[in-house]
Chains A and B, each alone.
Chain A
Amino acid sequence: MYAQMVKSEATNEDPEKLAAFQARIDAGEKIEPKEWMPEGYRKTLIRQIGQHAHSEIVGQLPEGNWITRAPTLERKAILLAKVQDEAGHGLYLYCAAETLGVSRDELTEALLSGKMKYSSIFNYPTLNWADIGAVGWLVDGAAIMNQVPLQRTSFGPYSRAMIRICKEESFHQRQGYDIMMKMAQGTPEQKAMAQDALNRFWYPSLMMFGPSDKDSVHSAQSMAWKIKINTNDELRQKFVDQTVPQAEYLGLTIPDPELRWNEEKGGYDFSEPDWSEFFEVIKGNGPCNAERMEARQKAWDDGAWFREGLMAHARKRAAAKVAAE
């Protein structure tokens, strides 16, 4: 998912306080920034929300790649609005993370030094316009699967950020599907492009949910704290069940010969993605890892004079105002 394989932190605190905290969460109360929380809860959330925020920001890169080459002015305006939304989503999430006592600069620096991660999916290239359709349809579709339940997460600022994001996210998925429909109903060449994009993005999209975590202690702790609501497998299954009929409508084929409806479980059986590829991408060896990090580093470095300049201007104006009074 946008936050993959988030390790939960151990907590060594007063068992009485911990029990009272857990009781609040079990009762469905929201935890707010200034209230007492276990250190592990705080650290795990910083890691998870931070990773989610980084994913929104890095996620602008593969789509931004096509803004200047969108096929019509309308498509361009729509894509521009979508990419701007992703920046907004990143900002809501950074602000939520900051309420836990980490600064924006610390978060950015942790991303740039490789200490913090972003979703594996954004290390795949967008080679042609059909990929923009596939990203909206599949990648945003997978993100929504995870984000809708997170609206109920126990940490107030995170929950509120997720509510805002979910309101905006379905526009993203629909614009992607709209591109896919246009291409699937277009010339045979266009339909082939749509199929090719689906072929390349299918398994990386399944990887977004992370490897199976049904036996993971980290997952169990995060679920008890309600900062993770469903297991990775549950969400992946839901995503496949939702997406297969959408592909059928497009007349496209999911690139999985093992895919078939399982009446008994009321869902599809499907092949697992290649997890060794996933771990390689996470380690930094995906097709675009280096390019993505370079772009973020460049934006950070090139923007430094601007950030500092505006701050200097603000200080000067504040001083002039004081002097005039």
Chain B
Amino acid sequence: MSSEWPLWEIFIRGQHGLNHRHVGSLHAPDAEMAVKHARDVYTRRNEGVSIWVVPSSAITASSPSDKGPLFDPSNSKVYRHPTFFDIPEEVGKM
């Protein structure tokens, strides 16, 4: 029987209070070992203060072919950006 260790996706919180960010993946037999491996593989130079590990099989991804229907609609809504509106200088900082 093949016993290849399952794949885990690794997320690391950097030092500056940012979100956990995906840094890569690795194989490990279970979650506990995945955390240990992630420490060795992805934080050898002080890159993190916290690690999340998620089984790769648990991730549902959007399909590349849905890129258009999913993301194009936001292109036409420029008013969502504050720079869309002109505020007179006299009003001051806003």
How far is A253 from B3 in the complex, measured between Cα atoms in Å? 52
Chain A positions within 8 Å of B3 at CB level: 307-308, 311-312
Contacting pair A318 B5 (CB below 8 A): no
Q: Check A323 for interface membership: any CB of B closer than 8 A.
A: no
User: Which A152-191 residues have a C-beta within 8 angstroms of B?
Assistant: 160-161, 164, 168
In the bound assembly, the distance between CA atoms of A308 and B1 in angstroms comes to: 10
Q: A314-B30, A317-B30, A318-B30 are in contact. Are A34 and B25 (CB under 8 A)?
A: no
Known: A91-B41, A311-B29, A318-B30. 16 other contacts (CB 8 A): A32-B64, A34-B64, A84-B40, A85-B44, A88-B44, A91-B26, A95-B24, A95-B25, A104-B4, A105-B2, A105-B4, A168-B44, A310-B29, A310-B30, A312-B3, A313-B29
A16 in contact (CB, < 8 A) = no
Residues in A91-150 with C-beta less than 8 Å from chain B: 91-92, 95, 98, 103-105
Whether a CB of chain B sits under 8 angstroms from the CB of A215 is no
Q: Name which residue of chain A comes closest to B42, CB basis.
A: A88
29 sample A-B contacts, Cβ–Cβ < 8 Å, listed by A number: A34-B64, A35-B64, A36-B64, A81-B44, A84-B40, A85-B44, A88-B41, A91-B41, A92-B24, A95-B25, A95-B26, A98-B7, A98-B25, A103-B4, A104-B27, A105-B2, A160-B24, A164-B24, A168-B45, A307-B5, A310-B5, A310-B29, A310-B33, A311-B5, A311-B29, A312-B3, A314-B30, A317-B30, A318-B30
B63 within 8 A of A: yes
B78 at the A/B interface (Cβ < 8 Å)? no
User: In the complex, which residues of chain B have a beta carbon less than 8 angstroms from the beta carbon of A161?
Assistant: 24
Interface size on B (CB < 8 Å)? 19
Contacts of B91 in A (CB 8 A): none
Query: Residue on B with the closest CB to A98?
Result: B7
Residues of B within 8 A of A36 (CB): 64
- On chain B, the residues within 8 Å of A92 by CB distance are 24, 41
Q: Mark B31-69, 1 if CB is under 8 A from A, else 0.
A: 001000000110011000000000000000101100000
Report A284-296 CB contacts with B as 1/0, cut-off 8 Å. 0000000000000
User: Can you name the residue of chain B whose Cβ is closest to the Cβ of A312?
Assistant: B3
**Smallest beta-carbon distance A183→chain B, Å:** 27
Closest Cβ of chain A to B65, distance in Å, is: 9
Top 7 A-B residue pairs of the complex, sorted by shortest distance between their CB atoms? A314-B30, A310-B29, A314-B29, A311-B3, A35-B64, A308-B3, A311-B29
CA distance A168 to B41 in the complex (A): 12
Complex CA–CA separation, A104 to B28 (angstroms): 12
**Are A34 and B63 interface neighbours, CB within 8 A?**
yes
Give the distance in Å from the alpha carbon of A85 to the alpha carbon of B43 in the complex. Answer: 11
Q: How far is the CB of A61 from chain B (nearest CB, A)?
A: 19
CB closest chain-B residue, reference A89: B41
Q: In the bound complex, do residue A88 and residue B40 qualify as a contact, i.e. CB atoms below 8 Å apart? A: yes
Kindly identify, within residues 27 to 45 of chain A, every residue whose CB is under 8 Å from any CB belonging to chain B.
32, 34-36
Chain A residue nearest to B1 (CB atoms) is A308
Question: How far, in Å, is A175 (CB) from chain B's closest CB?
Answer: 14
What are the residues of chain A within 8 A of B30 when measuring CB–CB?
310, 313-314, 317-318
A85→B42 CA distance, assembly (Å): 10
Residues of B within 8 A of A317 (CB): 30
CB proximity to B under 8 Å, residues A289-325: 307-308, 310-314, 317-318
Closest to A91 in B: B41
